[in-house]
Structure 1
Amino acid sequence: MANQQRAPQQSATDSGQRSSILGALEEAHREWQGTPYILGGSGINGVDCSSFTQIIFRDYLGKTLPRNTRAQLQEGNSVRRNQIQPGDLIFFRTGRDLLHVGIAMENGRFLHASVSSGVMISRLDQNYWASRYLATRRLF
């Protein structure tokens, strides 16, 4: 009985936190949308994927992340692909030695700094991303 009583409180807390994270990510998207991808860039005039996630986590979500993708891949806890939640870091292998990172939103969407289109929202089920999925890490 005690577990049944605690579960709804946990779900409400989780739901509230996810909603808060999602709101922050939507605000970040509005403010950063279209910012061009520049390798090594770290600002509104140009940003790369790992700098973008570092900035969004710091400025919108209140968490510190390392600067590079490989170091970010070591943060938090591993999450199964079918359990991704808003705020999770999603990693892709885009080349033999190249990694890409974005931030999960909801309904299979993720926010990232794309090489081709700058800061944007993409979908995990798009062939390009689905075939390159590597891992998900949860920091919250």
Structure 2
Amino acid sequence: MATHRQSNSNTRRFAAATVAAASVAVLTPGFASAAEVNIPNTGIAVEVPGIENVPGIESIPGIEQWIPSLQGSTYANTDVQSTIDQVRAMPGSSAIPGFQDFLDSAAQDVAPANTPAVTQAAAAMQPAVAPVASTGQAIVDAARSKLGAPYAWGATGPNAFDCSGLTTWAYQQAGKNIPRTSGAQASAGMNVPLDQLQPGDIIAYYSGASHVGIYTGNGTIIDALNSGTPVAERPLHYMPIHSAVRF
């Protein structure tokens, strides 16, 4: 604990010395006013006159951490990048430890929003491109191509399947390799909430994840159920759900 207190003390002395050397007013620790910038985790506030008057400063992501007085303020700003540039150019702001790095990070966060949009006229000139099926949809399409195939314990296709044999085979058709058995598939995949299911997710059933099927995206699954029952599409909740996973 003693080492931690010494580290915080050193941080404060370094920040104060850096700012003071640049002839910027260093204020005693406390709540910042509208013209003050707080250096996070140091308790030091630096006065930068007029910084609160930069139009749209409230829209810079995370600015409240540095200027607490802006907390709760709103501003409809369509050019945050320009605002960041104005704040960066404020006299004294470059001497505040870490502030320029924060502004650089904020500029990266908003950069995609400032990418010029393609006009409707330009878009109309582009040739139409056929949509590419997602990996999940490719998995569903592969499984659906085997509707009616017979069930056979231990079979992995292409003419007969057991439950995990069907999921393994369908994933392979989409270029993905997954564990062979239902329990291993349920354990290895990334758990997915049922309200966030996507086509191609694997649904495991029963308490031991002893059965699996492929979610189609339409509230149904495709599975190889048991002996005497061919591969079919059936309701998602046809059996007790153990979990849902994504690879």
Fraction of identical pairs, as percent: 31
| Residues 18, 86 of structure 1: 8 Å contact kept | no
Counterparts of 1:1-140 in structure 2 under 5 Å? 2=110, 5=113, 19=134, 21-30=136-145, 32-59=146-173, 61-93=174-206, 99-115=210-226, 116-125=228-237, 128-129=238-239, 132-139=240-247
Q: CA RMSD in A?
A: 2.6
The residue matched to 1:58 in structure 2 has which SS? helix
Letter in 2 for 1:138: R
Change (3 A) 1:70 1:34: same
Q: Which runs of 5+ in 1 are unaligned?
A: 6-15
Provide the aligned length of Structure 1 versus Structure 2: 122
Aligned-partner Cα distance in 2 for 1:88–1:135: 10
The residue matched to 2:205 in structure 1 has which SS? strand
Change (3 A) 1:33 1:63: same
| Residues 89, 102 of structure 1: 8 Å contact kept | yes
Aligned-partner Cα distance in 2 for 1:75–1:4: 34
Higher strand share: 1
TM-score (normalised: structure 1): 0.73
TM-score (normalised: structure 2): 0.44
Q: Which has the higher contact order (CA 8 A, sep 6+)?
A: 1
Aligned-partner Cα distance in 1 for 2:180–2:139: 20
The residue matched to 1:73 in structure 2 has which SS? helix
Aligned-partner Cα distance in 1 for 2:245–2:160: 25
Q: Which runs of 5+ in 2 are unaligned?
A: 1-79, 81-109, 114-130
Aligned-partner Cα distance in 1 for 2:135–2:205: 25
Deviates more, 1:20-29 or 1:43-52: 20-29
The residue matched to 2:204 in structure 1 has which SS? strand
* Aligned equivalent of 1:9: none
